[in-house]
Structure 1
Amino acid sequence: MIVRHVRLRYTLLTRGVFDHLGITEQRVASALEGVRRGSARHVLIAPPGAGNIGDQAMVEAFVAAADRPVTVVTRGPKDFTLPVDLAAGAEIVALPGLFYGAGGAHANALARLKLLLTDAATVSIVGADIMDGVYVLRSSLRRSAIAAGSARAGIDTTVLGFSWSGKAPAAALRALRRAGAAGVRLLLRDPASAARVRDAGIGGVVETADIVFTDDRRDDAKADGILRGIDGPFAIVNVSGLIARTVDQVPEYTALLDHLRADGFTVVLLPHVLRDTADDLTACREVYAASGGEGVLLIDEQLSPSTIRSLANRASLIVTGRMHLAIMSLAQGTPAITLATQGKVEGLMKLFGWPELCVAPGPGMGERIWAVASQVLAAPDARDRVQAGAARARALAAANIDRISGNDARERYAERNASR
């Protein structure tokens, strides 16, 4: 046991040294030397997925816009399941060692990626909140290094709309700087993140919005079935399993649900991340049990992004601890009060010109959320304000797909937005 503990400590220490000295990036760069671009496919480096509806929404938005087949590079073969309308346009290739593997597993994954890149007209990396190293530094460094390597090979390379924390480690900043210098387009998805990266002297910055703003597909039939039996207005409430790690949310959301029900709303408890780590369904179930269940509908399955959009379109209000639920709701013109944990939500609400929709998690947040909700529900122009922000966001978000959509797709996208 002691030997195993010592070995683990040594491994973690070695990884930390390699990450901070730039060796992690150098290994990726060496493995990708000699790549030559192709023209047959778009290669998309996907986020973790596996129960995260926001990750699913980003991948679907990309595939929906693509003008040629897409190779979606994932961690595992079951991390994403594409809906029927998109499945024919993409193949999923699992490279489990690419971001989280070590030694031979990582080397083999890089060799397989190199083969995929020889067929690539473009390379796109889903940035989201995984580029700045705040969650897992090594995987962030590897993503930036892959972007830099493919750009040096002459492949049109983009890091799709991502946030950048003011607490990003220096190693992550260095890796992103190298990617920008290699010619990678860095699409920052909110004004605050763009300012942080520009102020660090990094090139290639394009201010955009999240790619999910480009996708407006809805599944009204599924939403009809879920809402059957609900008469009158309803509010969607998400309880984040990630925030539950540090905040006792049950009494806070119980108080919020009491206010909403007293005001005539049915509450739909909606998990957005359903997996063993930071599970929203567990957190939602705890709030449901504490609420007594009267006037509350608990969703206990992973819904598709298209169904989420349809539900959000019909809701009067959204309260969420997950940013992509906020994005899908705001895109439908529905106000979304969102709990802020890393600075990315503040940037989103700045884009919409409504910073009050951002609430800090912690003791008393239930009453703070209700205070904001009361103002939103009483504002006659609330949906108009959100729809105006959504129009700005969609226009900015087009930068995520302009290199992969082709002229026909770009025209369809413009026509779709003009008719909203």
Structure 2
Amino acid sequence: MIEQGSSKTQKAIRIKNVRAKGFRARLREFLRVPMLYREWQHEKRQLANPSSPDPLKACNSILIAPCDPVTLAGSKGDEAMITAFVERIREFNPDCRFGLLTYHDRVPETLAGLGARPEPVWANPKWSLRQLVRTVSRYEGLAIVGGDVMDGYYTPLTALRLWVVGDMAARLGKRSAILGFSFNDKPSPRLRRCLDSLDRRFVVSVRDEVSLERFRRFSATEARLVADAAFLLRPSFSERIEAVCFWADSQRAAGRTVVGFNLHPMLIKEGDQTRRSAMIDASITALRNVAVRDDVSYLLISHDFRGGPMGDEAVLGPIFEGLQGELGERIRYWKDRFSAKELKAIAGVTDAVLTGRMHLAVAALGQGVPIVAVTYQGKFEGLLRHFDLPERLAVSPETILVSSRLASLIDELIASREVLAASIAEFWPRVERRALLNIEPFLAQGADAAF
């Protein structure tokens, strides 16, 4: 009874802290959003409306505004989009230089090799549209990594800031575009006034049909359909990937199907430890039961390496510990902090992937590997539609709390993997062309003929 009471007390404290944090965020937005609108109107009045850039000239310098200017690559998806964008632009224009809007004056190791210069002016010492406009003016283009923040789901203030900076870049006569982003079905109403008055030269790209439909219902701003920029990422078969490839090849040589598996704590709302434990227990039971009746091996794949309760290790670690003794060589979990390029290579050595991370799904599909997705924010449905894959492959987090239903999903994925892979291969050329549209606004006119 003492333990039960202690658990209830801890849960109550967690809920209280979450509510207090939410209240502070709402108060901050209540005060700062109107201030930002006023600052935006003031800065627009200062501009003389420069002419549009010459479409026959390539963009030789591009400032990148990440989804998260603090960590830049805290999400492997953000890292994948930034890396793919820079590398593909350089294939067309090797001399293009890049900057990264940051909070700090350093760049994560996984992005350092891109040679992008940090521009630590996002909030240093405080957020200032005037300072950002001065920084943007030193570049020929601005690319916003839209990801899943542009609808204001996480914070309307951050989303509004990105929209405003993109609009100002266009008004400065720069190439300005948002890389393909998701848009959920409950966007923040605080964004509507901004979205309905964006400069028409600002290129808005949405990364799936479902998000595009939602965006068009919310705003009259012109937007176009693309595919996720992360589809353009090329895999990296580094030395430490060799061990993963060797294991996967040995399992297939033994007649087994290699299934990639990823779940993460954010699938459980408000960090409910009881439900998280239920997800772990259901996963252990499901994976065990499928392994008993099928020739299958499991590769557990982390796609978020943050420590503590938010990273994938918090879920995948206990699942691996619960099955390692029984399955032996049939289950592996590498805990290296792989780059996005390495993770794409890892996704490609599997035969199928069940994942709760959208950009692990993108990595797998981009390698021709079929998936089942545990969805959140309605982001996966549009991703599947790119490949004409059935919507039943996107399931709710509640589904995976029941071991028998999770086992059935894995069984179905294994049984239908060849048919699904054929559909992915058929639609891949169209998806790749859509993904390449992300870089098109920054190329010289006619350069996109290559795709």
| Structure 1 residue 289: Cα displacement | 2.2
Q: What are the Cα deviations for residues 366-403 of structure 1, in whole angstroms up to 9, with x where unaligned?
A: 43343233233223322111222333221111110112
- Match 1:165 to one of 173, 184, 193: 184
1:216 aligned to 2:247? Answer: no
| Structure 1 residue 318: Cα displacement | 0.7
For 1:87, what is the secondary structure of its paired residue? coil
| Structure 1 residue 34: Cα displacement | 4.3
1:358 aligned to 2:371? Answer: no
| Structure 1 residue 115: Cα displacement | 2.9
- Match 1:264 to one of 295, 301, 309: 295
| Corresponding residue of 2:412 | 375
For 2:398, what is the secondary structure of its paired residue? coil
| Structure 1 residue 335: Cα displacement | 0.7
- Match 1:153 to one of 166, 172, 192: 172
1:287 aligned to 2:319? Answer: yes
For residues 204 and 306 of structure 1, the distance between their equivalents in structure 2, rounded to whole angstroms, comes to 32
CA 1:227/1:366 → structure 2, altered by over 3 Å: closer, same or farther?
farther
> Equivalences for 1:11-160 in 2 at 5 Å?
14-18=27-31, 22-28=34-40, 30=42, 33-34=46-47, 40-48=60-68, 49-66=72-89, 67=93, 68-78=96-106, 80-82=108-110, 87-88=114-115, 90-97=116-123, 105-107=126-128, 110-160=129-179
AA partner of residue 252 (structure 1): A
| Corresponding residue of 1:101 | none
For residues 265 and 211 of structure 1, the distance between their equivalents in structure 2, rounded to whole angstroms, comes to 32
Q: What are the Cα deviations for residues 152-181 of structure 1, in whole angstroms up to 9, with x where unaligned?
A: 2222211110011111111123333333x4
Contact 2:299 2:331 in 1 (8 A): yes
| Structure 1 residue 133: Cα displacement | 0.7
| Corresponding residue of 1:278 | 310
For residues 83 and 146 of structure 1, the distance between their equivalents in structure 2, rounded to whole angstroms, comes to 23
1:305 aligned to 2:340? Answer: yes
For 1:327, what is the secondary structure of its paired residue? helix
Q: Which runs of 5+ in 2 are unaligned?
A: 1-19, 54-58, 252-256
For 2:140, what is the secondary structure of its paired residue? strand
For 1:158, what is the secondary structure of its paired residue? strand
Contact 1:184 1:204 in 2 (8 A): no
CA 1:147/1:378 → structure 2, altered by over 3 Å: closer, same or farther?
same
AA partner of residue 258 (structure 1): R
| Corresponding residue of 2:380 | 345
| Corresponding residue of 1:250 | 280
Contact 1:194 1:206 in 2 (8 A): yes
Report the RMSD for the aligned CA atoms in angstroms. 2.9
Contact 1:339 1:361 in 2 (8 A): yes
For residues 299 and 176 of structure 1, the distance between their equivalents in structure 2, rounded to whole angstroms, comes to 43
1:183 aligned to 2:207? Answer: no
CA 1:401/1:260 → structure 2, altered by over 3 Å: closer, same or farther?
farther
Q: TM-score, normalised by structure 2?
A: 0.79
| Structure 1 residue 358: Cα displacement | 0.6
For residues 373 and 9 of structure 1, the distance between their equivalents in structure 2, rounded to whole angstroms, comes to 37
For residues 291 and 9 of structure 1, the distance between their equivalents in structure 2, rounded to whole angstroms, comes to 38
For residues 378 and 336 of structure 2, the distance between their equivalents in structure 1, rounded to whole angstroms, comes to 29
Q: What are the Cα deviations for residues 68-125 of structure 1, in whole angstroms up to 9, with x where unaligned?
A: 11112133345533468x524x223233517xxxxx5113xx4442232122221110
AA partner of residue 143 (structure 2): S
Aligned residues: 396
Between structure 1 and structure 2, the one with the greater Rg is 2
For residues 402 and 430 of structure 2, the distance between their equivalents in structure 1, rounded to whole angstroms, comes to 29
For residues 106 and 217 of structure 2, the distance between their equivalents in structure 1, rounded to whole angstroms, comes to 39
AA partner of residue 284 (structure 1): L
| Structure 1 residue 203: Cα displacement | 1.8
| Structure 1 residue 187: Cα displacement | 0.6
| Structure 1 residue 43: Cα displacement | 1.0
1:206 aligned to 2:224? Answer: yes
| Structure 1 residue 253: Cα displacement | 1.5
> Equivalences for 1:303-342 in 2 at 5 Å?
303-342=338-377
CA 1:10/1:191 → structure 2, altered by over 3 Å: closer, same or farther?
closer
AA partner of residue 296 (structure 2): F
Q: TM-score, normalised by structure 1?
A: 0.85
Farther-moved stretch of structure 1 (377-386 vs 343-352): 377-386
AA partner of residue 76 (structure 1): H
For residues 22 and 429 of structure 2, the distance between their equivalents in structure 1, rounded to whole angstroms, comes to 50
